[in-house]
Amino acid sequence: MLLRLSSFLSALAIVAAQCPDPYVPLDETRCILLDEIVTYTYDEAVSFCQTHGGSLLVIKDCETFGLVYDYIHSEAVTTNHHYWLAASDAEEEGTWKFIDKQPTPMGTPFWGPGQPSNRTGYNCGLLHASYNHKWYDMPCTGKYNAICLRSV
Ligand SMILES: *[C@@H]1O[C@H](CO)[C@@H](O)[C@H](O)[C@H]1NC(C)=O
Ligand SMILES: [Ca+2]
């Protein structure tokens, strides 16, 4: 039992050590950096994450959404902010792609009801604080907070 606990703790230490500051572990293979202080346009948020050796938030499965959601909701100060999702339909209206050109999942549990709205000029994805951080399409020139992900 003791042995198990100590190997678990040292495994945790290894994971923690592998995420460069100011990143913290999201899971065994990924690190997360959340900035709830400074707001950015979509393009500024993309640059912010690149500067920090990562990528603006990409979520391709429920598990990742759950981990990111739990991280956002772990503190009141981070819960009350909107965060950019690195997804856009600027290239072709209604065709949502992540920054890595992969298709963005549609519908539940990701997008809010009736989202994306596909309104003119609403071409960037946002985790909306007023809607439990479900995804909404917003003008890319809005100023919101950023979450970056990177590999350990
Ligand atoms: C907007 O387009 C997407 C992709 O075609 C679609 O899934 C979604 O239902 C559309 N939204 C509305 C409000 O019609
Ligand atoms: Ca659009």
What is the count of structural domains for the chain? 1
Q: Which of 152, 141, 116 is nearest to 24 (CA)?
A: 152
pLDDT at residue 13 above 60?
no
Range of the domain at 16: 2-151
Amino acid at 34: L
Say how many Å lie between the CA of residue 104 and the centre of ligand 2: 13
Torsion sign, CA atoms 104, 122, 72, 108: negative
Question: What is the distance between the alpha carbons of residues 66 and 68, in angstroms, rounded to a whole number?
Answer: 6
Q: Write out pLDDT tens, residues 105-139.
A: 999 999 999 999 999 899 999 999 999 999 999 99
In CATH, what number is assigned to the domain containing residue 24? 3.10.100.10
| Pocket of ligand 1 contains residue 117 by CB under 6 Å | yes
Which atom of ligand 1 lies at the shortest distance from residue 117's CA?
13
Ligand closest in space to the Cα of 140: 2
